[in-house]
Amino acid sequence: MFDLVVVGHFVIDRILSPKIQTSKPTLGGPPTYVSLAARKLDAKVSVISKVGGDFPSEYVMWLKANGVDLSGLKQVRADSTTRFLLKYGRKGRRLQLKSLAPPIFPEDVPGSLRAKAVHVAPIANELSQSVIDKLRALTDTLSLDPQGFVRRFDEQGNVKLGRWEETGILQQIDIYKSSFSEIKAATGLTDLQLAIQKIHSYGPRIVMVTRGMKGSTLFFDGELYEIPACKPRVVRDFTGAGDAFIGAFLAEYIQGKDPVWCACVGSAASSFIVEDVGPTVFGEKRETYARASEIYGKT
């Protein structure tokens, strides 16, 4: 029995930004940031993912050394790992898909798997409804970040967001988390409150929307809550902040804690991630709780 299982592709990112002097390949993807944020809060975490023959063995050793179970990781040596080029500039972030690992199939999910929560986090449409159907039977709490379902790729791999037509998946989901731009793409609505209500009407009982340094919005039990952003010591790179948010949220939520508190812990976890490039800065449990406590009373 795991506390949390994360399903989706590991990624090798190359990040370009005015704040980054030297760009180099960096371990990324939701399985990295979600898992490590939850591990810092003492959750027992496993990953189901696929990578190519180019996935460095030192990444595997480092993840295991940090307590992430990789028994569900499959390496397909004839293929490539999913890779993204991320360019940050005045107009925000631009993404380009450089390579794509093989899809995750239902048979890649062990039937014996049990978890208090499963977080489904596609980044390039690498899993289908049938995978989610199987996962639904293996957990009490199924969480989704739909970013991979709303991304569209041109011939050069450049990413734009498009309308999500297969919203029937949301009938299986308990917790939904996305960015503001992604929920607008998923619903076709530009009004945040209306978009949240629409997602909720499909099935999720908790809906969260992250908005960077503007904080996040949480909906549950018919109420909207504005969660402030925790203040980082410095801002170097936003990559992975939303994934750290949901990892920390779920680590607290499965313990039966107040969702508002869980979201504040998510905000705190994401504030550490932005302080450096890649999965290098994760606050210790005490530090994360301290930052969460600072904003809990302001929610």
pLDDT at 133 over 70: yes
Which DSSP string corresponds to the chain?
-EEEEEES--EEEEEE-TT-SS---EEESHHHHHHHHHHTTT--EEEEEEEETTS-HHHHHHHHHTTEEEEEEEEETTS---EEEEEEETTEEEEEEEE-PPPP-GGGS-TT--EEEEEE--SSS-S-HHHHHHHHTTEEEEEE--HHHHEEE-TT-BEEE-----GGGGGG-SEEEEEHHHHHHHHS---HHHHHHHHHHHS-SEEEEE-GGG-EEEEETTEEEEEPPPPPS-----TTHHHHHHHHHHHHHTTT--HHHHHHHHHHHHHHHTTSSSTT----HHHHHHHHHHHHTT-
Look at residue 111 in the predicted model and tell me its pLDDT.
Answer: 87
CA 70 to chain centre: 17
Question: What tokens were used for 51?
Answer: 């990578």
Domain residue spans in the chain?
2-209
Confidence of residue 15 (pLDDT cuts 50, 70, 90): confident
At the topology level, CATH places domain 2-209 in UDP-N-acetylmuramoyl-L-alanine:D-glutamate ligase (3.40.1190)
pLDDT at 253 over 80: yes
Average of per-residue pLDDT values in the chain: 95
Residue owning tokens 């410095």 = 234
Confidence of residue 21 (pLDDT cuts 50, 70, 90): low
- Model confidence over 140-158: pLDDT tens digits? 999 999 999 999 999 999 9
